[in-house]
């Protein structure tokens, strides 16, 4: 992705769990745009989509999930129909957090760390 393309993207990182998922949207400049926690059902995914669409403006959403096969499988399949979805290995998010000035752990910080890793594999 070129720098010009990145400047038109809203990156949404999602920390995936069994019953809930925490999503954090950031601007191309690292500004936190929103945070939302949703359940693991289609109606909840609709709430996430509505929040993303409300906040996106002229930005194109890109989603990064730590888990696209286990607990995040339903969410990734739902999002894949609408947006680019990337799998980001949780070890990279953990490594980013451990190297931070304040290495606290929370769902919000993990979700924020997903797009900040700058890596991932396109979910297909």
CB 117 within 8 A of CB 96: yes
Task: Tell me the C-alpha distance between 55 and 11, whole Å.
Answer: 11
How high is the pLDDT of residue 48? 96
Can you say how many angstroms the Cα of residue 10 is from the centroid of all Cα atoms in its chain? Answer: 10
Q: How confident is residue 92, by pLDDT bands cut at 50, 70 and 90?
A: low
Strands 32-39 and 20-26: antiparallel
| pLDDT surpassing 90 at residue 87 | no
How high is the pLDDT of residue 42? 93
**Domains of the chain: residue spans and CATH:** 3-122 (3.30.420.40)
């Amino acid at each position: 992705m070129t720098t010009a393309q990145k400047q038109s993207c809203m990156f949404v990182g999602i920390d995936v769990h069994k019953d809930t998922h925490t999503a954090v949207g950031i601007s191309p400049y690292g500004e936190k745009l929103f945070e939302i926690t949703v359940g693991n059902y289609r109606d909840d995914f609709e709430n996430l989509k509505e929040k993303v669409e409300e906040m996106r403006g002229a930005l194109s959403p890109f989603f990064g999930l730590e888990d696209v096969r286990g607990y995040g499988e339903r969410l990734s399949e739902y999002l894949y129909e609408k947006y680019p979805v990337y799998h980001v290995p949780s070890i990279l998010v953990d490594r980013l957090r451990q190297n931070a000035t304040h290495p606290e752990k929370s769902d919000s910080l993990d979700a924020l760390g997903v797009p900040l890793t700058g890596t991932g594999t396109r979910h297909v």
